[in-house]
Amino acid sequence: MRRSLISFLVGILFALGLGFGGMTQPQKIISFLNLSAWDPSLIFVMVGAIGVHAILYPLIRKRKSPLFEAQFHVPERNDLTPSLIIGSAIFGIGWGLAGYCPGPAIVSLVSGQSAVILFVGMMLLGMAMYRLVERHFSSSK
């Protein structure tokens, strides 16, 4: 119960940060990515996030374990696979076209806007389709 409450509170904090930072405003994202009408304001969000991470990550990793887990769960693979490259390209294209990435889109659901609901619905459909395709190809080997 305690872990769920902490996860919920951290999620709320993250959602508030996305909202205050302007990451839930598709036009702001698209303007940041548009070089002909560039809006550099999101640089402050990025620099803030990168700065906090750069300072705290090494300090946190010096601990034997995280506060609420027995061990750290850090990915061990660092190779580039075709799936990673294609998935990254699809993510970037979708973000640039729609102005949403998954986290801010989920936060934006509270607005009730049909564009957000459609985006999240299509995102979930894409995830389900990926799982079906992956399952099909892994079972045919």
Digit-by-digit pLDDT tens for the chain (141 residues) are 788 898 899 999 999 988 888 889 998 888 988 889 898 988 988 899 999 999 999 999 999 998 888 999 988 888 999 989 998 998 888 888 888 889 999 999 999 999 999 999 999 999 999 899 888 888 776
Residue located via tokens 């601990």? 63
Check residue 119 and give its pLDDT: 93
How many angstroms separate the CA atoms of 134 and 106, rounded? 24
**Which residues are CB-contacts of 48 (< 8 A; sequence separation ≥ 6)?**
21
Name the token pair of 62.
């010096």
**Which residues are CB-contacts of 66 (< 8 A; sequence separation ≥ 6)?**
60, 72
**Which residues are CB-contacts of 67 (< 8 A; sequence separation ≥ 6)?**
none
Check residue 122 and give its pLDDT: 93
How many angstroms separate the CA atoms of 100 and 93, rounded? 10
How many angstroms separate the CA atoms of 12 and 9, rounded? 5
pTM: 0.74
Check residue 7 and give its pLDDT: 87
**Which residues are CB-contacts of 95 (< 8 A; sequence separation ≥ 6)?**
29, 33, 101
Check residue 94 and give its pLDDT: 86
How many domains does the chain divide into? Answer: 1
How many angstroms separate the CA atoms of 12 and 10, rounded? 5
Check residue 141 and give its pLDDT: 65
Domain extent at residue 24: 2-139
